[in-house]
Amino acid sequence: MAKESISKTNAVRLLDQLGIQYELRAYDVNPDDLAAETVAAKIGMPPEQVFKTLVARGDPTGIVMAVIPGDQELDLKALASAAGEKKIELVPVKELQRLTGYIRGGVTALAAKREFPVFVDENIELFDVASVSAGVRGLQILIAPGDYLRATKGTTAALGQPKKHELA
């Protein structure tokens, strides 16, 4: 899909301003299924290459963003350690838009309402291209990991852990 046919989000504007190359991929959204694995299938990428952004609150740092592979869960202890916190917890969904300017399924560390510390799972460096939300549901940015880290001022750390699947 051509960049010109999609209205520019704040995340896309930031990348343009920084002169960073990217590709946009649009997909149909099912509001009842915003899982990263579903997004990955819709844009034709493996889930481990589609990164989701989670928002957490620590004390005393406050709000931080964690960016992890779509096929993993956030290791809160690892995030707390990376952020220099004793304890950290995910922010309730109802607070996301007020804090970041983005809604669930469209949260990105690019051009959030305020600049927060960003911690990116080190697995992002395994890929030539990673996919992240463009700041709205239904639009992903494909970007070189180094460019993403530069644009978000992100720090890499081991943050993800395999998802726990319930036994049938």
- What CATH number should be reported for the domain holding residue 106? 3.90.960.10
113, part of any domain: yes
10-31 confidence digits (pLDDT tens): 999 999 999 999 999 999 999 8
73-93 confidence digits (pLDDT tens): 999 999 999 999 999 999 999
Site of tokens 């917890």: 89
168, part of any domain: no
13, part of any domain: yes
User: Cβ distance 141 to 11 under 8 Å?
Assistant: yes
18, part of any domain: yes
Strand partners, 18: none
* Model pLDDT, residue 61: 79
139, part of any domain: yes
167, part of any domain: no
* Model pLDDT, residue 168: 43
User: Is the pTM higher than 0.85?
Assistant: yes
Count CB neighbours of 159 within 10 A. Answer: 25
43, part of any domain: yes
88-114 confidence digits (pLDDT tens): 999 999 999 999 999 999 999 999 999
Our count of domains for the chain comes to 1
162, part of any domain: no
User: Cβ distance 115 to 109 under 8 Å?
Assistant: no
* Model pLDDT, residue 59: 85
44-63 confidence digits (pLDDT tens): 999 999 999 999 999 887 99
Range of the domain at 112: 3-156
As a whole number, the mean pLDDT across the chain is 91
Which residue, among 3, 28, 12, 4, has the nearest Cα to 132 in the 3D structure? 12
Tell me the two tokens of residue 117: 């510390």
Tell me the two tokens of residue 147: 């460019």
Instruction: Please determine, for residue 4, whether its predicted confidence score (pLDDT) is greater than 60.
Output: no
Tell me the two tokens of residue 11: 């995340």
Query: What b/e readout covers 118-142, taking b as 16+ CB neighbours within 10 angstroms?
Result: bbbbebbeebeebbbbbbbbbbbbb
